[in-house]
């Protein structure tokens, strides 16, 4: 069974940093692309970042480029999102998800809440 | 790139059909057959319902179907059931190693 389990969310002050983690199991980790998607309270989904399984290439939404860094540890089956210079509008539930066919996100974690507030 | 455009709400009675639209541009929805649809119940993670415009993952009822014409994709839910009441989001590959989501549609089963 595929499982994705996020952790690391919490309350952080504006300008602060946080690292989110996503523990993956039940599939060949290095063979799949992975993504972070967020959802602000009461709002819709917003794609944040992706890392390709084969090349490890990384890409970001304009809203986080230069502040967030996606990475993975294939030896531990872990996905990370390093978030710097956090702003109030980064407040959201952050989901990690696995890429399936056709840039679909076929498996999702349960999400972790990040709150940026003083 | 801007978010894809979805109607904020849709509704139907049990047993009826409802269609939700998702409008993009010739650079995203119109350019690729990489449109997906997700169902999200309150407090839950999204669930993939349709991928590559028309394909259903294993376990998704065949009451859910997808289509595309030009820059607009559509999700049709036939034979509405109470458990179909949820938020629905479309997404498309944006062509620049990015994903674009729609704003979401709240489906109400009357």
What does the DSSP assignment read for chain A? Answer: --EEEEE--EEE-TT--EEEEEEEESS-GGGS-EEEEEE-TTS-EEEEEEE-TTT--EEE-TTTTTTEEEEEETTTTEEEEEE-S--GGG-EEEEEEEE-GGG-EEEE---EEEEE--
Whether the pLDDT of residue A89 is over 80: the answer is yes
For residue B70, the model assigns a pLDDT of 97
Averaged pLDDT of chain B: 97
Give the B window 23-42 contacts with A, CB below 8 Å.
32-34, 36, 38, 40
B60 to chain A: closest CA residue: A106
CA dist list (Å): B67 to A5, A110, B78: 32, 29, 14
Is A47 in Cβ contact with B51 (below 8 Å)?
no
Chains A and B form CB pairs within 8 A to the count of: 74
For residue A81, the model assigns a pLDDT of 98
Whether the pLDDT of residue B1 is over 80: the answer is no
Tell me the mean pLDDT in the region A20-38. 97
């Amino acid at each position: 069974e595929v499982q994705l389990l996020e952790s690391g969310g919490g309350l952080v002050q504006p300008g602060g940093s946080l690292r989110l983690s996503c523990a993956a199991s039940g599939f060949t980790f290095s063979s799949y692309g992975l993504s972070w998607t967020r959802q602000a309270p009461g709002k819709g989904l917003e794609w944040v970042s992706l890392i390709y399984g084969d090349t490890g290439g990384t890409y970001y939404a304009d809203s986080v480029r230069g502040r967030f860094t996606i990475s993975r540890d294939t030896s531990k089956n872990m996905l990370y999102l390093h978030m710097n210079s956090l702003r109030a509008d980064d407040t959201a539930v952050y989901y990690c998800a696995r890429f399936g066919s056709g840039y679909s996100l076929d498996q999702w974690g349960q999400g972790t809440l990040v709150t940026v507030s003083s | 790139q801007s978010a894809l455009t979805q109607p904020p709400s849709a509704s139907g009675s049990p047993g009826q059909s409802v269609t939700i639209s998702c409008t993009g541009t010739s650079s995203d929805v119109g350019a690729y057959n990489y449109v997906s649809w997700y169902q999200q119940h309150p407090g839950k993670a999204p669930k993939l319902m349709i991928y590559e415009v028309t394909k259903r993952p294993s376990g998704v009822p065949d009451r859910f179907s997808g289509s595309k014409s030009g820059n607009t994709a559509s999700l049709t839910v036939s034979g509405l059931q109470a458990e179909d009441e949820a938020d629905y989001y479309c997404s498309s590959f944006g062509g620049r190693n990015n994903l674009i989501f729609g704003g979401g549609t709240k489906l109400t089963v009357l």
